[in-house]
Amino acid sequence: MLASCREIQSLDELREYVNETICEQEQFEVGAFTMSERIITRGGMPCGIYFCVHGPRQVKLSAIWETDRNTILFYGSAGERFHKTQLIDAPRLEEVEDLAA
- Average pLDDT score, the chain: 87
**DSSP type of residue 69:** T
CA distance 90 to 71: 9
Identify residue 37 by its one-letter amino acid code: E
Handedness of CA 95, 73, 76, 44 (dihedral sign): negative
Give the relative orientation of helices 93-100 and 11-26 as an angle to the nearest 10 degrees. Answer: 90
Residues 53-98: tens digit of each pLDDT: 998 888 899 999 999 899 999 999 899 999 999 998 777 666 555 5
Q: pLDDT category, 26, cuts 50, 70, 90?
A: confident
Q: Structurally, how many domains does the chain consist of? A: 1
pTM equals 0.84
Contact 80, 1 (CB under 8 A): no
Contact 75, 59 (CB under 8 A): no
